[in-house]
Chain A
Amino acid sequence: MWDNIQLGFATAFTLTNLGYCFLGVFLGTFIGVLPGLGSLAAISMLLPLTFYLEPTTALIMLGGIYYGGEYGGSITSILLNLPGTPSAAVTCLDGNPMAKQGRAGVALFVTAMASFIGGSVGIVALMGFGPGIARIGLSFGPADYFALMLLGLVAAATVGGGSVIKGLMMVVLGLLLGTVGTDVISGDFRYTFGLLELRDGISLVGMAMGLFGVAEVVSSIRDAKTRKITQKVSFRSMMPTRADMRATLAPMARGSTIGGFLGALPGAGTVIAAFLAYATEIRVAKDKTRFGNGAIEGVAAPESANNAAAQTAFIPTLTIGIPGSATMSIMLGALMIHGITPGPLLISDHPTIFWGLIASFWIGNLFLIVLNIPLIGLWVRVLQLPYKYIYPVVIAMICIGVFSMRTSAFDVSLVVIFGGLGYMLIKTGYSPAPLILGFVLGPMLEENLRRAMLMARGDPMRMISDPLTGSLLAMSAFLLIWAVVGGIRNLIRARRLQDMPSGEA
């Protein structure tokens, strides 16, 4: 263990890796600060920049973009009451009221500290549990892989809140889009419509940029004109009082634990971690009325939770090869582009990558503390830039990013299609994240299912009778039933409310 940590720091402490780590967290924070664009858009936009780097350096930079985005998103939440990234949405609830009371500086300070503590807890969990989980993963057969991925997809569709049927549709559409291209087992082409470009499948980056980049930019253009920052944030105004510090310690500890646990589960991710941490704080608090009116716990807990989840999300991605969230599935794609297959063998085959990446997380989190406390004024200025000067450049970056992946104008036209589709989906209450997850997991899910069924001689009962596979499948079934029953109950309740005279509802 100690040797590994030393190896990691030796890898991360080269000048190149330090430089790209800083560049990653800087760019990640920058894009995270921009409203609507989160770490998913940031990673896919900047992925082509890493093609020219060593795999370890590239991953260090991409990782930095990812958790940097988690830091940046909350700045926008506090100052504009508008989430910079989806996982920072909860921070709006109490962060913005704090800013309105003239305590924006304190809120930003607490956010940065909570993010750092959450991140640290997450990295420790990654170091402690990662190798052990990889060892368990070695014994997984195709049926276990299939069941695990299915559980992740069902969780992504049902746990996120909102309509279950819409979540399921997004997963199924993602799986279906994932079948486009060459079938791995038979070598036949599926849904290529005679187009040469589709034989390798739909471009993941093109699709993600359409669904998340273009669609989000379009939906923030109209609201952008009314936004204005009035608060001034000076270094002195950021210093919390001793009472503030005391009030945030326990929420940070609770938030980090919740986030660290949820981040490692398939399908849960940073958004749910933040929401659950906030809900827990309300439950624990003696005076519940303070929440929503600038309670400092309401900033500390979700921020530590989403950053802890952001770090532990690397556990399933790196050690089993199954990403738990849409952003992690882009990371998985990035790993494969650099010729590394994530899975149980990653830690033993590429120890420099795994431990170097972890060491870079420590360094990156330290960089972020500096970027977010002494240099906060920089990001406030970024937010003061009118959006009308930002979005044309963002669109241009999306275009060149997608184009340079495979120097393909076809992929750019995919951005048009998925951008239009994504905007409609967002406006009608769909969440495109499960779609991306389904798309990435689809080919793996199919391959493992086909192998497992071959081994079970076409008898599903044989698959279910295996204790591990069976219990994973049972968990998926339970989640699905629970969500459907909950959905029906909500419908009935809504019906009753409609039937009641309007005065009582």
Chain B
Amino acid sequence: MPPFFFALSELAMKTHSLRLVVSIILAGIGLIGFVIGLDYEFGSARRMGTGYFPVVLSGLLFVLAMAEGVSSVLMPEAQSPEPLDWRSLAAILCSVAAFAITIALFGLIPAFAVVVGLSTLSERGYGWKPALILSVFTCIGAWLLFTQLLGMALPLLQWRL
């Protein structure tokens, strides 16, 4: 894992700093939306242009997120929720991303094997045997449901490199 990931998780250990991180992300989205939105035609109140709605919304989001960020520093919530489950989050997100890549390149069956295999990494000591059995069953089930029953025209296996 890259080092910034650890830095981020260490930062998020404290409750109020995770709240702060989320409000900074949201404020960032608002700011980017605002800056890009200024390029669009703004129009007037009577004839609103393409940019009217997005600029107003992203400005509002930025202001609200800043207020939330400030209040998360000034008034941290009393009870601390449980820490984030980084391992599960990383494993599940990686498995979904791997599915997106695999299904485009190699087809349905490898994609199912990859998504099931990788998502079992979210728990320590899952064991490769149950993971293997589960992915074989999921592949068979997917083949039955999607290609046989629903007649979806998805390639089961291909090589597109």
Contacts and interface: CB of A to CB of B under 8 A. Distances in A.
A429 B115 CA distance: 29
A169 B61 CA distance: 6
- Max chain B Cβ within 10 angstroms of own Cβ: one of A388, A392, A419, A423: A392
Contacts of B48: 449-450, 453
A19 to B, nearest CB: 13
Interface in A188-232: 188, 190-191, 214, 217-219, 221-222
Nearest to A174: B57
Contact of A191 (B33, B93, B126): B33
A183 interface: yes
Contacts of A398: 96
Contact of B46 (A188, A413, A458): A458
Interface stretch (A236-244, A375-383, A400-408): A400-408
Nearest to A386: B130
A407 B54 CA distance: 29
Contacts of B21: 424
Contacts of A392: 95, 115-116, 119-120, 131, 134-135, 138
A416 interface: yes
A457 interface: yes
Contacts of A163: 68
A430 B22 contact: yes
Interface string A157-171: 000000101101100
B123 A457 contact: no
Interface string A420-436: 11011101111000000
Contact of B116 (A183, A186, A393, A409): A393
A191 B53 CA distance: 13
Contacts, number: 182
Q: Give the interface size class of chain A.
A: 35 or more
B7 interface: no
Contact of B57 (A175, A400, A427, A460): A175
Interface in B50-81: 50-54, 57-58, 60-61, 64-65, 67-68, 71, 75, 77-78, 81
Given A396-B112, A412-B99, A457 B85 contact: no
Given A168-B64, A403-B103, A453 B96 contact: no
A335 interface: no
Given A165-B64, A396-B138, A412 B103 contact: yes
A172 interface: yes
B71 to A, nearest CB: 8
Given A169-B61, A176-B54, A420 B89 contact: yes
Nearest to A49: B150
Interface in A473-505: 491, 494
A169 B64 contact: yes
Contacts of A458: 44-47
Contacts of A415: 96
A221 B123 contact: yes
A189 B123 CA distance: 43
Contacts of A188: 40-41, 50
Contacts of A183: 50
B156 interface: no
A173 interface: yes
A185 B51 CA distance: 12
Interface of B: 18-19, 21-22, 25-26, 29-30, 33, 36-37, 40-41, 44-54, 57-58, 60-61, 64-65, 67-68, 71, 75, 77-78, 81, 84-85, 88-89, 92-93, 95-97, 99-101, 103-104, 108, 111-112, 115-116, 119-120, 122-123, 126, 130-131, 134-135, 138, 142, 146, 150-152, 154
Given A190-B40, A392-B135, 14 more contacts: A176-B61, A191-B36, A389-B134, A392-B120, A393-B134, A393-B138, A398-B96, A399-B100, A403-B99, A416-B97, A423-B89, A424-B22, A449-B53, A491-B75
> What 10 A-B pairs have minimum CB-CB distances, sorted nearest first?
A458-B46, A412-B100, A458-B45, A399-B99, A409-B104, A392-B116, A409-B100, A392-B119, A221-B88, A176-B57
